[in-house]
A and B are shown apart, each in its own frame.
Chain A
């Protein structure tokens, strides 16, 4: 082992994550020249957040993300909020590079100040406008070959309309009634689709919360870059509410009965 934490191991198989939203494990070997260039463009994320999940339900949008920001395989920051409210109707949830996300928060907060606080004319930004703006920012940065290394979910309710959409470091966008970024796209998304599709207009808030908690639990069991502390945001006609840090209830008793790993032989 060396003293470069990003070299401290991650799955060698990188076919599952072609955009490398996880930290890059094998650096080039001429690291001393890494900062020699005049400008540096982000080539890999450093401190990363894992999956964000979101679903539509009867009263609006519910979004969830855990509180971990990893430094390679090191669980570096354990109290990070990855759900950020923008204006009165929108929440943006981020996975990928946390410093890029903090920059985006700064940009979006500035946008709300210039568009809403300064104008004060009743024309406010809803989730659709925030998402379009974010898409333009992400796409223009990728077109400069200097991407903001995130996958983002934008959810909200305005004028009685629910809105839920995705945008990532390439500027790719899409809309669906259940969305999941990162590892969650593989592990949580099938669970969410099964639980939500066709029931978007009948799911109650406790039901929606239960679905997301269950998906987070499965992710915590399977995703090595996750943690059992999380937050849930609800966006309804009444506005945005982001919970405090919550603890996932997990059970490990079954581990006793598992055979076939490590030194256990029977």
Chain B
């Protein structure tokens, strides 16, 4: 697939100053099905597209609960995600044990970013092949972070990762200014619209292939009390949200939803 001299070891730079193993790890994230995250002043939500290996197979898990105030959506290698989410759960519980305080979300994300960075520098290791969207709630309000295997983390108003996530980003960039004051229902509708952009031509969002993760007060379609805790909606409970979606606008030919070609690929040929 790739032909290259400088990609067999993650501790060796290419003459262009790049770490190819790390970039291949980022590619593993792009191969995963898409996940979208966005936030308002009151809520942070995640939406993810679940894949299944066949008609008779179950759908892969795309979201994990870390603590009452933290949840993640993943794109990439699920097994790597389980290792990292387990680490995040340990960190969260450690904070409860030692300080009796929910772990600050930014520190949790920094902790996994630092862990991932080690794998980009030490001999004999490989980078994680998974990217996270992390939502969290603390006394400063709701937050949304992206974590990637290169060891970086950033906070966002709205973001997406995974296959065809550029199309979702385009939608989010067009609408994000209205998110701050959105109700939970409107926020989820925007999220679904963005997630829909990542679908293949003949596919659509269904109760089977969609996961929604929510932090913040429960909305009108939810039954469970007044909790602000992280919960994952799957199956029939997401039907009312799917119903609320607007029919898709037909894009004019050669629109911006085609991702721009990446620049500077001088020593790598990546095949599709």
Q: Do chains A and B touch in the complex (CB under 8 A)?
A: yes
For A129, list chain B residues within 8 Å (CB): 99-101
The 0/1 profile, CB within 8 Å of B marked 1, for residues 98-138 of chain A is 00000000000000000000010111010011001100100
Tell which of B99, B107, B138, B140 touches A125, judged by Cβ atoms closer than 8 Å. Answer: B99
| Contact (Cβ within 8 A) B106 A121 | yes
For A125, list chain B residues within 8 Å (CB): 99
For A133, list chain B residues within 8 Å (CB): 98-99
Chain B interface mostly: mixed
In the complex, what residue of chain B is closest to A135 when comparing beta carbons? B100
Q: Which of A128-171 contact B (CB under 8 A)?
A: 128-129, 132-133, 136, 159
| Contact (Cβ within 8 A) A132 B104 | no
In the complex, what residue of chain A is closest to B104 when comparing beta carbons? A123
| Contact (Cβ within 8 A) B107 A122 | no
Q: Which of B132-148 contact A (CB under 8 A)?
A: 138-140
| Contact (Cβ within 8 A) A122 B98 | no
| B13 CB to nearest A CB, Å | 29
| B170 CB to nearest A CB, Å | 31
Tell which of A121, A128, A159 touches B104, judged by Cβ atoms closer than 8 Å. Answer: A121
For A159, list chain B residues within 8 Å (CB): 139
Q: Is residue B97 contacting chain A, with contact meaning CB distance below 8 A?
A: yes
| A214 CB to nearest B CB, Å | 34
Tell which of B98, B101, B139, B140 touches A136, judged by Cβ atoms closer than 8 Å. Answer: B98
| B235 CB to nearest A CB, Å | 36
| Count of CB-CB pairs between chains A and B under 8 Å | 24
For A119, list chain B residues within 8 Å (CB): 107
In the complex, what residue of chain A is closest to B106 when comparing beta carbons? A121
Q: Which of B168-216 contact A (CB under 8 A)?
A: none
| B108 CB to nearest A CB, Å | 11
For A128, list chain B residues within 8 Å (CB): 100-101
Most chain B beta-carbon contacts within 10 A, residue among A123, A128, A132, A136: A123
The 0/1 profile, CB within 8 Å of A marked 1, for residues 19-30 of chain B is 000000000000
Alpha-carbon separation in the docked complex, A18 to B101 (Å): 34
| B209 CB to nearest A CB, Å | 37
Tell which of A121, A122, A123, A132 touches B100, judged by Cβ atoms closer than 8 Å. Answer: A132
For B100, list chain A residues within 8 Å (CB): 128-129, 132
Q: Which of B103-122 contact A (CB under 8 A)?
A: 104, 106-107
| A236 CB to nearest B CB, Å | 20
For B140, list chain A residues within 8 Å (CB): 122
Alpha-carbon separation in the docked complex, A129 to B104 (Å): 13
Alpha-carbon separation in the docked complex, A213 to B160 (Å): 62
| A21 CB to nearest B CB, Å | 26
In the complex, what residue of chain A is closest to B103 when comparing beta carbons? A123
| Contact (Cβ within 8 A) A136 B104 | no
Alpha-carbon separation in the docked complex, A136 to B101 (Å): 14
| A25 CB to nearest B CB, Å | 37
Q: Which of B69-111 contact A (CB under 8 A)?
A: 97-101, 104, 106-107
Alpha-carbon separation in the docked complex, A14 to B184 (Å): 65
For A121, list chain B residues within 8 Å (CB): 104, 106-107
Q: A123-B106, A132-B101 are in contact. List 8 more A-B contacts (CB 8 A).
A: A122-B140, A125-B99, A128-B100, A132-B100, A133-B98, A133-B99, A136-B98, A159-B139
Q: Which residues of B contact A (CB under 8 A)?
A: 97-101, 104, 106-107, 138-140
Q: Which residues of A contact B (CB under 8 A)?
A: 119, 121-123, 125, 128-129, 132-133, 136, 159
**Would you give 11 A-B contacts (Cβ < 8 Å), ordered by A?**
A119-B107, A121-B104, A123-B107, A123-B138, A125-B99, A129-B101, A132-B99, A132-B101, A133-B98, A136-B97, A159-B139
Among all A-B residue pairs, the 5 with the closest Cβ atoms: A123-B104, A132-B100, A129-B99, A132-B99, A129-B101
